[in-house]
Amino acid sequence: MGEVIEVGILEGVASTTIKKLHKAGLATLEAIAVTPPREIVALTGMGVDTAIKVNTLARLKVDPGYVSASDLLETRSHMMRSRTGSNEFDRIMGGGIETGVITELIGEFGSGKTQICYTLSVLAQRPVAEGGLGGRVCVIDTEGTFLPERIKQIAEARGYDAQEILSNVLIARAYNSDHQIMLVKNLPKIAQEHDIKLVIVDSMIGHFRGEYIGRGTLAERQQKIAGVLGNLLRVAEAFNLSVVLTNQVQAKPDTSYGDPNRPAGGHVMAHACTHRVYLRKGRQNTRLVRVIDSPYLPEEKIRIAVTAAGICNEDETTNMEYDPDMYTAPEEPEEFSLEEEKVETPEELNLELDEINLDE
Ligand SMILES: Nc1ncnc2c1ncn2[C@@H]1O[C@H](COP(=O)(O)OP(=O)(O)OP(=O)(O)O)[C@@H](O)[C@H]1O
Ligand SMILES: [Mg+2]
């Protein structure tokens, strides 16, 4: 039996949520950590997202190590995807940019990394039924290049209320790597207070590469980057939100064949980012997109276009008709539906609680 939880122990969790947990008998970190999110929902009446968050945060406090595959599957069944603006891009991403993981956009200057971020800033705000994530967006801009004018242009070109979209994008300028680290540490609070569903870091490595120069500083630099990525991944999991990072390629002079460009950040970046998307300039306003090193996405090369409306299909259409079943692969875990699980009457609720108590 662990210590009784108090407000502040679980970063970014509101006092009303803590009260609900107490009331339901989930008063210790251990109790919250071992109770599956769907059971937390049934016991407390809190939202699914909040339940996943408290469960993940508690688990990390109790045991930051292994989780069972069944627990992982349960958590992943809540995963959502934001559309990218291009149907083909959505398709090779398995339906869009996932929540709960980090997606890395890799490419040389002008390859379209920031353009994808702008487009996602608009599209992720759309309701889930329209292929968005139904939440706000938070941007950590390390280069001072993230311009609201472009978000406005994309929103208008797509017929959305630009003022509303702009007011739901929070932008912080990171002036150096320490500032970037601090902004990332603050994310749980921001995510909680502003219902953030997409976090963008454009770019992830820039400051670190600029500040830690020379071989002697490499270990320290990689350690710091790993720390930031760890924090970002935890936020992605705990708040079931998408994290999108941009990363430049660096030329490797000793490559004698193949593509001489490599993503910056080495193994540390490669390990932390679940999906790595490689962008190259194509003819005219098109860009070639390929997913690399993915655990389950195909390594297929497709083409997108960059227009006033942001990322579009290759033929510059912005056909955003959305069929939520379009991308559901057969082996996907069954969707968790609150409707099905809803306890109908107080009697049934009591029965369920009794059964749970009997099991203990
Ligand atoms: N309003 C617009 N309409 C059409 N195309 C645009 C528009 N704005 C930018 N672009 C295209 O996007 C390109 C810039 O891409 P982007 O800013 O995403 O590059 P990046 O990959 O982020 O590069 P860097 O590494 O320098 O940050 C421009 O060269 C231009 O081709
Ligand atoms: Mg850029």
Q: Are residues 254 and 110 in the same domain?
A: yes
Q: In angstroms, rounded to a whole number, what is the distance separating the alpha carbons of residues 300 and 344?
A: 47
CATH number of the domain to which 135 belongs: 3.40.50.300
Nearest alpha-carbon partner for 105 in 273, 348, 220: 273
- The three-state DSSP-derived secondary structure of 31-78 is HHHHCCHHHHHHHHCCCHHHHHHHHHHHHHHHCCCCCCHHHHHHHHCC
Instruction: Please name the residues in contact with 252: beta carbons below 8 A apart, sequence gap of 6 or more.
Output: 260, 261, 262
* Residue 97 and residue 165 in one domain: yes
Q: Ligand 2 centre from 254 Cα, in Å?
A: 26
- Protein residue with its CA nearest to atom 2 in ligand 1: 308
Ligand 2 centroid to residue 352 C-alpha, Å:
53
Ligand 1 pocket check for 82: Cβ under 6 Å: no
Rounded to an integer, the average pLDDT of 119-142 is: 96
65 and 127 belong to one structural domain: no
Ligand 1 atom closest to residue 112's alpha carbon, by position in its atom list: 18
Task: Decide whether any atom of ligand 1 lies within 6 Å of the 306 Cβ.
Answer: yes
As a whole number, mean pLDDT of residues 14-35 equals 87
CA 25 – ligand 2 centroid, Å: 48
Residue nearest to atom 13 of ligand 1 (CA): 110
Same domain, 234 and 131: yes
pLDDT, mean over the chain: 84
CA of 281 to the centre of ligand 2 (A): 13
pTM check: above 0.85: no
pLDDT surpassing 90 at residue 266 = no
Q: Which residues pair with 319 in a beta bridge?
A: none
Domain count across the chain: 2
How many A from CA of 107 to the centre of ligand 1?
12
CATH number for 60: 1.10.150.20
The answer on pLDDT for 2 being more than 70 is no
10 Å Cβ neighbour count for 34? 16
Looking at the fold, whether 266 and 174 belong to one and the same domain comes out as yes
Domain that holds residue 10: 1-78
pLDDT tens, 300-324?
899 999 999 999 999 998 866 666 6
Q: What is the mean pLDDT of residues 184-206?
A: 93
Q: Give the mean pLDDT of 84-102.
A: 95
CB of 78 closer than 6 A to ligand 1?
no
- Residue 206 Cβ < 6 Å to ligand 1: no
Residue nearest to atom 25 of ligand 1 (CA): 109
Q: Looking at the structure, do residues 145 and 14 belong to the same domain, yes or no? A: no
Closest CA to 279 of 80, 83, 81, 86: 86
Residue 110 alpha carbon to ligand 1 centre in Å: 5
State whether the beta carbon of 277 lies less than 6 angstroms from ligand 1: no
12 or 137: which leads in pLDDT: 137
pLDDT for 240 beyond 60: yes
